[in-house]
Chain A
């Protein structure tokens, strides 16, 4: 009997599988990638220069290894502002995770990972967004780059792309009226593990040129002296087709046990590739942005002004891409504070690359 089965096994292996070994494309491979950006920033209040800086803002290296087509390792190390010393510059391990890709509909990752929120946090290479600096919204409302220690599952069903992430929590002691939750990120530095953050995102991708979706994030954030549960709901959409480039994002952070009850922001970009008109083989995209962010949008007492951290911004700019992975940028904008009508004029130049 055993012999019969053994014969069957062997026949099956030979008939069914070895024959098609040709289609096995598993190759172990190291991959290296990266991105970086050089910025010139000029800020003026009235006629006074408040800031002029030439900054190599980010230098990032990706390093990855595939053991086979299902198991891989991916990482991203970032050096900010060239040089690190106490209080200057930053060296960050923004991603370092093991990824198991079962199939289109299911994958798993664990390690240092990115929160799946908004359009830029997970796709933050400079050729992928307008403006030299990341949009204000992605600084003051969504704190990009937002990463931490945790695990996630992800997948895609019929154009619906989902991701569910469990991550280290935020430190509520470091929330501020001017920066929302930004300084509460623990960045993987010995974070407490008793109050995890839950983050879920769904996008729809099957309409030509359009991506839209939403995410919800919850964390019962705690510090040494405060306990502020936060919930973040954001919607995002990006349209890139027919030479039109357009983005809309809106997000709200709700706080409990705090005089500030919510932070709210949104922005809208519209650009058009004019190189297409003259049939030039590059991308030349003038764009316009309107942005509105308020980190203290709703306050339940008089401790903080609802107008003082409310900024609106008009921006015009230009992205020039000689090839799709290199970008030269210029932008000019007026940022206005609601409380005292303070006007800041910003002028930026930038060079960015990715590979």
Chain B
């Protein structure tokens, strides 16, 4: 009897753990899945929390007119047979009030391969998750124009998130250029 209660307790505890505590694990799994679909399965993923140099972040923030979410971003370096295949940068921007988590994949020259909004946390503006909208960024790099209404279409009912995410992706493109050039 006591054993059964223990097992039941264990299951319930686990369910609570899974549902409340491990959302970040879901995101981690999703990122790995995306990396593998982008670069194939026979790759090595090197993950690090990348501290952005103050000089670099101020320069980019000034150009894009949006602050970085924090002092660091998450950097994935993807290698295959000791050769760098590409990169991914995971970062956040603020929507109307809550963070929007997104990831940008780059080839080894810093050209965007794909973008993906991993988590959207508000009622309005969730359309920035739409894959069709994200396709517009493919091929862009640090030198490209990211103007909304021209290169990037706006979305009705998602004005603020379109604005934030577009700027966030442009910041990533500028930052990856710095990272590649610094040889890290």
Binding site for A on B (CB under 8 A): 2-3, 6, 9-10, 13-14, 17, 21-25, 27-28, 49, 69, 74, 92, 94, 96-99, 101, 120-124, 126-127, 129-130, 132-133, 147-150, 153-157, 159, 163
Contacts and interface: CB of A to CB of B under 8 A. Distances in A.
11 contacts: A12-B14, A13-B17, A16-B17, A17-B22, A23-B74, A23-B101, A64-B97, A70-B121, A72-B97, A208-B132, A243-B149
Nearest to B130: A206
A211 B156 contact: yes
A9 B16 CA distance: 12
Nearest to A101: B121
Interface stretch (A27-35, A142-150, A250-258): A27-35
Contact of A25 (B92, B126, B163): B92
A21 interface: yes
Helix, strand, loop or mixed for chain B's interface? mixed
Nearest to A9: B13
B130 A205 contact: yes
Contacts of A273: 149
A240 B22 CA distance: 38
Interface string A52-69: 000000000000101001
A107 B123 contact: yes
Interface of A: 1-2, 5, 8-9, 12-13, 16-17, 20-25, 27, 29, 31, 33, 64, 66, 69-70, 72, 74, 99, 101, 104, 107, 109, 119, 122-123, 127-128, 154, 156, 159, 161, 203, 205-206, 208-211, 238-243, 273, 276, 281, 283, 324
Contacts of B123: 99, 101, 107, 109, 154
B65 to A, nearest CB: 10
A44 B21 CA distance: 64
A238 to B, nearest CB: 4
Contacts of B96: 31, 33, 64
A17 B97 contact: no
Centre residue among A13, A156, A205, A238 by max chain B CB count within 10 A: A205
Centre residue among B74, B96, B153, B156 by max chain A CB count within 10 A: B156
A122 B124 contact: yes
B92 to A, nearest CB: 5
Given A20-B24, A20-B25, A208-B153, 4 more contacts: A240-B156, A242-B153, A273-B149, A281-B147
A102 B120 CA distance: 11
Helix, strand, loop or mixed for chain A's interface? mixed
Contact of B126 (A1, A72, A104): A104
A203 B33 CA distance: 30
A104 B98 contact: no
Contact of A159 (B24, B25, B130, B150): B130
Contacts of A109: 123
A324 B6 contact: no
Contacts of A74: 97
Contacts of A324: 148-149, 154, 159, 163
Contacts of A208: 132-133, 153
A23 B28 contact: yes
Contacts of A211: 155-157
A125 to B, nearest CB: 8
Contacts of B99: 25, 27, 69
B10 A5 contact: yes
Contacts of A123: 124, 157
A306 B14 CA distance: 66
Nearest to A238: B156
A-B pairs, 5 with minimum CB distance: A23-B24, A31-B97, A211-B156, A20-B24, A238-B156
B34 to A, nearest CB: 14
A157 to B, nearest CB: 11
B132 A206 contact: yes
A331 B147 CA distance: 27
A156 B157 contact: no
Contacts of A205: 127, 130, 155, 157
B2 A1 contact: yes
Contacts of A159: 130
Nearest to A31: B97
Contacts of A20: 22, 24-25, 27-28
A279 B171 CA distance: 23
A33 B92 CA distance: 20
A154 B130 CA distance: 18
A15 B60 CA distance: 37
B120 A276 contact: no
A190 to B, nearest CB: 27
A33 B160 CA distance: 11
Contacts of B24: 17, 20-24
A104 B49 contact: no
Given A241-B153, A324-B163, A17 B21 contact: yes
